[in-house]
Amino acid sequence: MTETTLEMARAEIDPEAACPIAPVVDIVFSRWTTPILWALNEYGRQRFVELERRITSITPKVLTQRLRQLERDGLVVRTYHPEVPPRVEYEISELGRSLAPLFASLAEWAAGNLEKVERARQDYDGREPLPGRRA
């Protein structure tokens, strides 16, 4: 398997990640990319403003940046219509769509375990500082 060797080589070259999924995380789970991909996968081809309105609290500048990145990585397809006013549409690519089951698993994990995380936090915040921590 050439891919295994590639993985190993990459892990060796990039030592900060002795972790083979680090590159994917960079690509798929960097800031804002998840909501964007989710929106495109869930609601289909959309214009810039639609995405902007759907993903509240993202600024147009950042949305543009992220869409460029996703387009460059082949996860999103951008279509420009030379009209007046101009119209641009974004849709998820086939490669991007291949992430759907992964996202579904993630949603499933969230549904089952997010509550536990919340309880762990309250537990942690509630108890007194333990030995070996602070003074």
Partner DNA sequence: CAGCATCCTTCCGGATACTG
Partner DNA sequence: CAGTATCCGGAAGGATGCTG
Residue closer to DNA, measured from CB, 57 or 101? 57
Closest contact distance (angstroms) between CB of 73 and a second copy is 5
The option from a second copy, DNA, none interacting with 101 (CB < 5 to 8 A, set by class) reads a second copy
Nearest residue to 71 via CA among 87, 54, 88, 90: 90
Q: Around Cβ 64, how many Cβ atoms within 10 Å?
A: 13
Beta-carbon contacts of 90 under 8 Å, excluding residues fewer than 6 positions away, are: 40, 45, 46, 47, 48, 51, 67, 76, 77, 78, 79
Closest contact distance (angstroms) between CB of 88 and DNA is 4
Closest contact distance (angstroms) between CB of 102 and DNA is 21
DSSP 97-109: HTTHHHHHHHHHH
Residues found near a second copy in the complex (CB under 8 A): 3-4, 6-7, 13-25, 27, 29, 34-35, 38-39, 54-58, 71-75, 80, 82, 86, 88, 95, 98-99, 101-103, 105-107, 109-117, 119-121, 123-125, 130-133
Tell me, rounded to whole angstroms, the distance of Cα 123 from its chain centroid.
29
Helix H, strand E, coil C: the string for 18-59 is: CCCCHHHHHHHCCCCHHHHHHHHHHHCCEEHHHHHHHCCCCC
85 binds DNA (CB under 7 A): yes
3 binds DNA (CB under 7 A): yes
Segment interacting with DNA, rule: CB under 7 A, options 18-26, 65-73, 97-105, 110-118 = 65-73
45 binds DNA (CB under 7 A): no
